[in-house]
Chains A and B, each alone.
Chain A
Amino acid sequence: MAIQARPLHSVGVPMKRKEDPRFIQGKGHYVDDLSFPGMLYLSLVRTTYPHAEIKSIDISEAMKVPGVKAVITGKDLEAAGLGWLPTFHGFDKQMVLAIGQVLFQYQEVAAVFAETRAAAVDGAEKVQVDYAPLPVVADPFTSKTDKVLLRPDRESKTNHIFHWEVGDKDGTARALASSPKRIKQRIWFQRCHPAPLEPCGCVAYFDTMGRLQFHVTSQAPHVYRTALSLVTGIPEDKIHVISPDLGGGFGNKVPVYPGYVCAIVGALKIGRPVKWIETRTENLTSTGFARDYHMDVEIGATADGKVTALHVATTADHGAFDAAADPSKYPAGIFGIVTGSYSFPVAHAEVDAYFTNKAPGGIAYRCSFRVTEASYAIERGMDILADELGMDAVELRKKNFVRKDQFPYPSALGFTYDSGDYHKTLDVALEKIGYVALLKEQAEKRARGELMGIGFSTFTEVVGAGPSKHFDILGIKMFDSAEIRIHPTGAGIVRAGTKSQGQGHETTWAQIVAEELGLDPQNIMVEEGDTDTAPYGLGTYASRSTPVAGAAIVMAARRIREKARKIAAHLLEVGEGDVEWTDYKFQVKGVPSKTVTMKQVAFAAYTNMSQNEPGLEATYYYDPPNMTYPNGAYVAVVDVDRDTGETRVRRFVAVDDCGVVINPMVVEGQIHGGLTEGFAMAFIQEIQYDAEGNNLNTNFTDYLVPTSLETPHWETGNTVTPSPHHPMGAKGVGESPNVGSPAAFVNAVIDALSPLGVRHIDMPLTRDKVWRAIRDAETRT
Chain B
Amino acid sequence: MTHEITSDNKNAKMKDDQAAALVVAQAFIVFSAIYWFTQIESVRELLQLAYG
Q: Are A and B subunits of one complex?
A: no
Binding site for A on B (CB under 8 A): none
